[in-house]
Amino acid sequence: MTALLIEGAAAQAAPARPGLLTREVIAAQWERLARWYLNGPEDDDPITWAAVDALAPHLPEDDRTLWFEQLFNAIPVRDGDVDLSSLPPDERDPDLIERTACEAIDEAIEHLTGGAR
């Protein structure tokens, strides 16, 4: 049963046309998996983490965890799903916050896909 759930999570992150793993397709895989983690299972769900392991077997477990956490934490910030009122007024620039979150997402995906140097 767990194997089927892992395959299902990985399938959600799979490209529409195998063999065409462009940077955009790979980034979309990671973003779908992060959104599934944010909106679906309970925290520390082993199925999600098995899918992360399957998509980034080249990274040590600690690195996979670090970069996936950066990815799923930055998505709601980029999408404007955070309350800025708790920030000091001079730090509430939504454009800067969005840009910083986009950079964090790009960096995480680069590391998760093995493209970071």
Distance, CA of 77 to CA of 49 (rounded, Å): 22
Q: Note down the domain range covering 72.
A: 2-113
Q: How confident is the model at residue 108 (pLDDT cuts 50, 70, 90)?
A: very high
- Going by C-alpha positions, the residue among 117, 113, 1, 116 that lies closest to residue 55 is 113
Task: Give the closest residue to 35 by CA, choosing from 8, 80, 74.
Answer: 74
Predicted TM-score (pTM) of this structure: 0.73
Structurally, how many domains does the chain consist of? Answer: 1
pLDDT of 25-45, one tens digit each?
888 989 999 988 888 766 566
Residues 14/52, Cβ–Cβ less than 8 Å: no
Angstrom distances, CA of residue 43 to CA of 39, 47, 49, 50, 75: 10, 11, 10, 13, 16
Q: Encode pLDDT of 46-90 as tens digits.
A: 677 888 888 889 899 999 999 999 999 999 999 988 888 888 888
